Amino acid sequence: MHCPPASTNGDRASGRKAGGAVSSCRKSPIKGSVFLSVPVVFCVAAKLRSAAGDTMMPLRELSEAEAAYAAGIVDGEGTITLTRMHRSEGRRPVVSISSTELPLLQYIRSIIGAGRITGKVTARDHHSPSFAYVISGRQALTLLARISPYLRTYKLQRCRLLLDEYLAVTPRNGRYTCAQRAAKELFEARFFALSVRAGTNRGGRSLNGDDDDRGIRAACEARAGRP
C-alpha cells in the first residue's frame, strides 16, 4: 500500500508552510505490538494530506534501525510537546532533543531530513556548549508516526494522542468556533497530563514540567534563529 505525500500549513491562518510526508506504508516490525495500529502509525500521511494542500520536501524514509535509534534518543533526551511559535497561533506539535553532543544532533538531522539545530544559551563560562534539534508541526507528526513503534516511555502516550486526535481538533485555517476551542483546550489538558508518573516530584512541581519547558525553549530559540 502506498501513502501519498502530505504536508500542511500548521495552525496559523496565515498559511505558513510547515509540512512533511510519509512516502510509504509498512507493517509494524513488532508482531502483536500493543502500540499504534499499522494504519495509524504508517498511514498518517493520508490525514496530513487531507489537512492541507501545500507541498514541502518530505522527510527521509527511516530504516528500522534508524527509527529505533531516533526513538531511543527521543525517549532518553528528547521532548514531545505542544507549543506556540507565535502568540496569535494555536499550539503545534514539537519534537526536540537537547544535547551537548553536536555530532549526535547532526546525525539525527541527517537521517530525518528535516528540522533545525540551534545553539542554546550557556549560563556559565565553564558549562559545555549545548544545542537543540527541533522539528515542529506536521513534520513532527510524520516523524512521530515513524518512530512510535519503538517508543517505550510516557512519550509513547503523548505520541499516540497527537497522531490520533491532533488533526481532528485543529482547524486548517486556524479559526475556532467556541465548541472547537473548548475541544482543543480539553485535548491540550489531556496531553499535558501525560507525564512520567502523571504526578509531581518532591518539590510539588509537575514531572513533565521540565521536559516541556526544555521543548518550548528549544522551539522558541529555533524560531528566533539563534545559531
Regarding pTM above 0.85, the answer is no
| Span 94-114, average pLDDT | 96
Q: What is d(CA 28, CA 35) in angstroms, rounded to the nearest whole number? A: 9
Which of 226, 227, 191, 184 lies closest to 211 in space, CA to CA? 191
Q: Report how far Cα 111 is from the mean position of its chain's Cα atoms.
A: 16
| Span 63-73, average pLDDT | 98
| Span 101-124, average pLDDT | 91
pLDDT over 90 (residue 193): yes
User: What are the structural domain ranges in the chain?
Assistant: 63-224
Exposed/middle/buried for 184, CB within 10 Å: 0-12, 13-18, 19+?
buried
CA 83 → CA 80, 103, 191, 203, distances in Å?
10, 26, 12, 24
| Span 211-221, average pLDDT | 54
Better-scored residue on pLDDT, 84 or 34: 84
- What pLDDT was estimated at residue 146? 97
- What pLDDT was estimated at residue 132? 95
What share of the chain in percent tops pLDDT 90? 50
Look over the chain and give the mean of its residue pLDDT values, rounded to a whole number: 75
Q: Which three cell numbers stand for residue 181?
A: 476551542
- What pLDDT was estimated at residue 135? 97
pLDDT over 50 (residue 30): no
Q: What is d(CA 211, CA 215) in angstroms, rounded to the nearest whole number? A: 6
The string of pLDDT tens digits covering residues 130-160 is: 999 999 999 999 999 999 999 999 999 999 9
- What pLDDT was estimated at residue 96? 97
Q: Which three cell numbers stand for residue 84?
A: 506556540
Q: What is d(CA 205, CA 199) in angstroms, rounded to the nearest whole number? A: 8
CATH class of 63-224: alpha beta
- What pLDDT was estimated at residue 52? 38
pLDDT over 60 (residue 124): yes
Sign of CA dihedral 61, 44, 194, 180: positive
Q: How would residue 88 be classed by pLDDT, with cut points 50, 70 and 90?
A: confident
The string of pLDDT tens digits covering residues 169-181 is: 999 888 899 999 9
